[in-house]
Amino acid sequence: MPTNDKPGGPDSFDVIVIGGGPAGYPCAIRAAQNQLRVACIDEWKNRDGSAAFGGTCLNAGCIPSKALLESTELYHRAREEFATHGIGVAAVSLDLAQMQKRKASIVKGMTGGILALFKAAGVTPLQGHGKLLPGRRVQFTAHDGARRELAARHVVLASGSVPIELRSAPFKAPHVVDSWGALDFEAVPKRLGVIGAGVIGLELGSVWRRLGAEVTVLEALPDFLAFADQQLAREALRHFRKQGLDIRLGAKVTGATVAGGAVDVAYSDAKGAQHVAVDRLVVAIGRRPYTGELLGADTGVELDERGFITVDHSCRTGAEGVWAVGDCVRGPMLAHKGKEEGVMVADVIAGRYGEVNYKVIPAVVYTAPEIAWVGLTEEQVKASGREYKTGVFPFQASARARAMEQAAGFAKIIAARDDDEILGVHIVGPMAGELIAETVLAMEYSASSEDLQRTIHAHPTLSEAVHEAALNADKRAIDSLNR
Ligand code: FAD
Ligand code: NAD
């Protein structure tokens, strides 16, 4: 581990990363791999007061939500599906405290793992607040209040994002909560309201629905998953409604009143003023960049009108030697997008090649059926004016999906008519998040749908759905009707 104290001067590093979430910590590790002296500052504190690296994703986002999605899916399948397989279980019972304990131990293991990775790579972990000062100096305030000034050749800002609060339904724990609150319920709410049918609303709505809550989801827009391919969105909506998620579209929330332990949510839709009474309300209407107390005066770093730190294609801010990555800059708020930006910046700082291909970033919604896509939607391709063809393969025709009792949904490929380039892939079905990876690689290599058609896929696997969808783009599918 390098020592960074210079007698009589500020602590000095090659790179200081402010923020230790999935954008910041990989940046620190890659910079250290590039033989640079690195410190990573992070101020995250969990509800029990413990400090932890990993940011939103590991502490209160991706990881705890996926732990609960897995547990609740198993619970649901044991209750609803095992009999179909000929498996009798006397009584399936729920131990929510144990489910939450398992989630917490996964989070603890993963966040603790970052410290181990830092140690192995030689990154100096600093737990507390970081504030950028002019001239690439950083004021560091440890959790115990001790303050010191650090200096670096490069500073990377990775301060992440926080939930957006809705003026008509402000957070008021324990009744009106954000996604973090909704991950930590100690009892299954009898009636759960969710504002926002986005990624969080669908994932957390599914978690509590599977455990028995009556879930009502209020979405302001008239279209479901408006940013997704609409053929995929329609299919997903059908399945979610069948599962009992009461998704109400075009619903504009006007107020939420907590009284007698319940929340009365007022909203208006095409039919006029409406009400729904719930026991807990989750507000999940998006997240905003977080830059609280991050920038001192005259740093030269600018924010745009929505509060994002302004950066160029390579994540450079307007201040020399200051970079910004992850949720605090433009682009999708996804952990893997932030990670690749962090790694890119660490490589560019070290004089190596680094680039993020923003056109090929996969998105996954971890519901059942799972949803995943990469590239353009059919609506976007149509609007571009480029001639295209589509290939669709239903999981009903997949032997593996049927064996898994998960034959819902389809895989869809959109390819250009002129040169057959794959323009977008949209999957709703089992393990869609894993299946999309093959097509991300294909698009990264500018593959054609014929390339996928000529690639051997093992039988019987779910990946054959991608193969057959590619074949169907030229109406040459073997295992389904070529419509
Ligand atoms: P963050 O993870 O927010 O980390 C920023 C860190 O910087 C925090 O620890 C913060 O405390 C610290 N910090 C901020 N300012 C300072 C400062 N001045 N000094 C010191 N430290 C500071 N994305 C996916 O790709 N897949 C998923 O499955 C997924 N699931 C999600 C589920 C939920 C419920 C939520 C809320 C989000 C989910 N996301 C998911 C989104 C994902 O969590 C974010 O895109 C990701 O965490 C962004 O990473 P980041 O490093 O930019 O910011
Ligand atoms: P989101 O942008 O995915 O969805 C928010 C939804 O709320 C949208 O459908 C929007 O139309 C709706 N909405 C906005 N204002 C509303 C209002 N006043 N009333 C009713 N509906 C309203 O945001 P999110 O679900 O809060 O997630 C935040 C971020 O976290 C997203 O950017 C997402 O990428 C990320 N995330 C990713 C994953 C994943 O990758 N699996 C999981 C969870 C969160």
Tell me the CA–centroid distance for residue 160 and ligand 1, in Å.
5
Q: Whose CA is nearest to atom 32 of ligand 1?
A: 61
Q: Which residue CA neighbors atom 12 of ligand 1 most closely?
A: 19
Domain presence at residue 185? yes
**Ligand 1, pocket-test mutation among 56, 107, 203, most atoms within 8 A of CB:** 56
114 and 231 assigned to the same domain: no
Say whether both 209 and 256 belong to one domain. yes
Q: Is the CB of 158 under 6 A from ligand 1?
A: yes
Instruction: State whether 137 and 231 are in the same domain.
Output: no
C-alpha closest to that of 483 among 397, 407, 372: 397
| Count of structural domains, the chain | 3
Task: Give the number of the atom of ligand 1 that is nearest the alpha carbon of residue 337.
Answer: 25
User: Is the peptide bond between 369 and the residue preceding it cis, with omega within 30 degrees of 0?
Assistant: yes
Atom 47 of ligand 1, residue of closest alpha carbon: 57
Flag whether 357 is in a domain: no
196, 277: one domain: yes
- Out of 244, 261, 285, a domain closes at 285
Write the burial class of residue 458 (CB in 10 Å: 0-12 exposed, 13-18 middle, 19+ buried): exposed
337 CA distance to ligand 1 middle (Å):
11
Q: Is residue 126 part of a domain?
A: yes
Q: Is the pTM of this model over 0.85?
A: yes
pLDDT of residue 4: 45
Check 143, 154, 459, 467 and give the catalytic one: 459
The number of the ligand 1 atom at minimal distance from the alpha carbon of 41 is: 20
Same domain, 428 and 397: yes
| Ligand 2 mutation target, pool 199, 306, 333, most atoms within 8 A of CB | 199
How many Å lie between the centroid of ligand 2 and the Cα of residue 283? 9
C-alpha pair distances (Å), 200 with each of 179, 194, 218: 7, 9, 13
Are 307 and 281 within one domain? no
Q: Which residues contact 363 (CB under 8 A, 6 or more apart)?
A: 332, 334, 372, 373, 374
Asked whether residue 280 falls in the same domain as residue 152, the answer is no
Per-residue DSSP letters for 223-245? STTTTS-HHHHHHHHHHHHHTT-
Residue 85 lies inside a defined structural domain of this protein: yes
CATH number at residue 380: 3.30.390.30
Q: How many CA atoms lie within 13 A of 357 on its CB side?
A: 12
Q: At what angle do helices 464-473 and 432-444 cross, to 10 degrees?
A: 50
Atom in ligand 2 nearest the alpha carbon of residue 163: 26
Pocket lining: 366 vs ligand 2, CB cutoff 6 Å:
yes
Q: Is the domain of 154 the same as that of 187?
A: no
What whole-number distance in Å separates Cα of residue 402 and Cα of residue 394? 11
With a 6 A CB cut-off, is 334 part of the ligand 1 pocket?
yes
Please tell me whether residues 57 and 183 are part of one structural domain: no
Q: Domain containing 382: what range?
A: 363-473
Ligand 1 within 6 A of 20 CB?
yes
For residue 482, report the distance from its CA to the centre of ligand 2, in Å: 36
- Residue with the nearest Cα to atom 37 of ligand 1? 61
Would residue 338 count as lying in a domain?
yes
Q: Which CATH number goes with the domain that contains 18?
A: 3.50.50.60
pLDDT tens across the length of the chain (483 residues): 343 444 334 599 999 999 999 999 999 999 999 999 999 999 999 999 999 999 999 999 999 999 999 999 999 999 999 999 999 998 999 999 999 999 999 999 999 999 999 999 999 999 999 999 999 999 999 999 999 999 999 999 999 999 999 999 999 999 999 999 999 999 999 999 999 999 999 999 999 999 999 999 999 999 999 999 999 999 999 999 999 999 999 999 999 999 999 999 999 999 999 999 999 999 999 999 999 999 999 999 999 999 999 999 999 999 999 999 999 999 999 999 999 999 999 999 999 999 999 999 999 999 999 999 999 999 999 999 999 999 999 999 999 999 999 999 999 999 999 999 999 999 999 999 999 999 999 999 999 999 999 999 999 999 999 999 999 999 999 999 887
CB 388, CB 381: distance < 8 Å: yes
Which amino acid residue places its CA nearest to atom 36 of ligand 1?
61
Contact, 21 vs 337, CB < 8 A? Answer: no
- For ligand 1, atom 27, name the residue with the nearest CA: 62
Last residue of a domain, one of 233, 267, 285: 285
Rounded CA-CA distance 391/3 in Å is 58
Q: Residue 27 to residues 168, 426, 427, 444: CA-CA distances in angstroms? A: 38, 30, 31, 22
Question: Is residue 303 a part of any domain in this protein?
Answer: yes
End-to-end Cα spacing for the chain: 62
Asked if residues 330 and 312 have their Cβ atoms less than 8 Å apart, the reply is no
Question: Residues 99, 137: one domain?
Answer: yes
Rg of the chain, C-alpha, whole Å = 24
Pocket of ligand 2 contains residue 183 by CB under 6 Å: no
- In whole angstroms, give the CA distance from residue 440 to residue 432: 12
Q: Give 117 Cα–ligand 1 centroid separation in angstroms.
A: 18
Give the ligand at the shortest distance from the Cα of 216.
2
At residue 2, the pLDDT reads 42
Q: For ligand 2, atom 24, which residue shows the shortest CA distance?
A: 286
Does the beta carbon of 363 sit less than 6 angstroms from any atom of ligand 1? Answer: no
Q: State whether 159 and 21 are in the same domain.
A: yes
Q: What is the pLDDT of residue 482?
A: 83
* 307 and 276 together in one domain: no
Q: How far is CA 106 from CA 43, 141, 314, 404, 412, in A?
A: 20, 29, 33, 26, 34
CB 183 within 8 A of CB 311: no
Q: Is 266 in the pocket of ligand 2 (CB under 6 A)?
A: no
Residue 140, strand partner residues? 130, 148
Distance from C-alpha of 462 to C-alpha of 472, rounded to nearest angstrom: 16
Rounded to 5 degrees, φ, ψ at 316 are -80, 135
Q: What is the DSSP letter of 136?
A: G
Long-range contacts, 206-210 (Cβ 8 Å, 24+): 206/69, 206/72, 206/240, 206/243, 206/245, 206/367, 206/368, 207/65, 207/68, 207/69, 207/72, 208/72, 208/182, 209/243, 209/244, 209/245, 210/72, 210/73, 210/75, 210/76
Residue 4 lies in a domain: no
Whole-angstrom Cα distance, residue 345 to residue 358? 15
Query: Per residue in 192-227, is it b (16+ CB within 10 Å) or e — as a string?
Result: bbbbbbbbbbbbbbbbbbbbbbbbbbbbbeeebbee
In a domain, 51, yes or no: yes
Q: Is 338 in the pocket of ligand 1 (CB under 6 A)?
A: yes
459 is catalytic: yes
| pLDDT at residue 343, as a whole number | 98
Tell which of 266, 285, 304 closes a domain.
Answer: 285
So what's the pLDDT on residue 342?
Answer: 98
Which of ligand 1's atoms lies nearest the C-alpha of 54? 9
DSSP 161-220: EEEPPBTTB--BTTTEE-HHHHH--SS--SEEEEE--SHHHHHHHHHHHHTT-EEEEE-S
* Cα atoms in the 13 Å half-sphere on the side-chain side of 296: 14
> How far is 285 from 197, CA to CA, in rounded Å?
8
The answer to whether the bond into 332 is cis (omega within 30° of 0) is no
For ligand 1, whether the C-beta of 62 sits within 6 Å is yes
